[in-house]
Amino acid sequence: MNEPILVGRISGLFGTRGWVKVFSYTRPRDNLLRYAPWYLRVDGEWRPFGVVEVRRHHGGVIAHLEGVDTRDQAAALMKQEIAITRDQLEPGGPDEYFWAELVGLKVLNGQGEVLGTVEGLLETGAHDVLRVVGAREYLIPFVPDVYVTHIDTRGGTMHVDWHVDD
């Protein structure tokens, strides 16, 4: 599987019939329920697992995965990341982006200076923050039309209102 997109992880066991507790990385958290199959790394390789049934449970998510019918089979998947493929993503609107689409973009400021590339995003209480790494590391608030002025995912660039010395 090329470039898996992480959407959650197996965080616990539920019952005796192979159900697992799932921690979702998606926003809102139940967006994870929209994707199937899920891919989990088994023996060093991403392997698809059909989602037989999934439920919300006490503010979280529990799932029964295809071929996982015992507590021991479920225990073997503990702490495994859950991924999907890029083609499983639903296209968003013109100003909507998945975090995975932003990672790797070259970041330029208004003066045409390359600040680096987006290495990740940090979730904070107020707004998300871009982690841009180049000659140094920048933490740039992901606030469209304020700090982030233009995103071209096809061209691989992001323009920001940020100075090299900030």
Choice between 63 and 59, residue whose per-residue pLDDT is larger: 63
Same domain, 62 and 21: yes
Stated length of the chain: 166
Residue with tokens 């904070």: 124
Question: What is the percentage of the chain residues whose pLDDT exceeds 70?
Answer: 96
Ramachandran assignment for 77, one of left (phi > 0), alpha (psi -120 to 50 degrees), beta (any other): alpha
Ramachandran assignment for 115, one of left (phi > 0), alpha (psi -120 to 50 degrees), beta (any other): alpha
Task: List CB contacts of 44: < 8 A, sequence separation 6 or more.
Answer: none
Choice between 123 and 51, residue whose per-residue pLDDT is larger: 51
Q: Which domain-ending residue is among 57, 88, 119?
A: 88
Same domain, 68 and 16: yes
pLDDT tens digits for range 87-127: 888 766 666 777 778 999 999 999 999 999 999 988 887 88
Q: Which domain-ending residue is among 35, 62, 88?
A: 88
User: Mean pLDDT of all residues in the chain?
Assistant: 90
Strands (E), the chain: 5-14, 19-24, 38-42, 45-49, 51-57, 60-65, 81-84, 106-109, 114-122, 129-133, 137-141, 148-152, 157-160
Q: Which domain-ending residue is among 36, 60, 88?
A: 88
Ramachandran assignment for 34, one of left (phi > 0), alpha (psi -120 to 50 degrees), beta (any other): alpha
Output the domain CATH number for residue 151: 2.30.30.240
Same domain, 80 and 126: no
pLDDT tens digits for range 29-45: 778 888 999 999 988 89
For the chain, the maximum distance between any two Cα atoms, rounded to a whole number of angstroms, is 60
pLDDT of residue 40: 96
In a domain, 150, yes or no: yes
Question: Within the chain, where are the H helices?
Answer: 71-75, 99-102
How many domains does the chain fold into? 2
In a domain, 166, yes or no: no
What's the angle, vertex CA 159, arms to CA 153 and CA 162, rounded to 5?
145
Same domain, 65 and 115: no
Instruction: Report the C-alpha gap between 53 and 112 in whole angstroms.
Output: 50
Give this prediction's pTM. Answer: 0.69
**Domain span including residue 120:** 99-160
Choice between 29 and 146, residue whose per-residue pLDDT is larger: 146
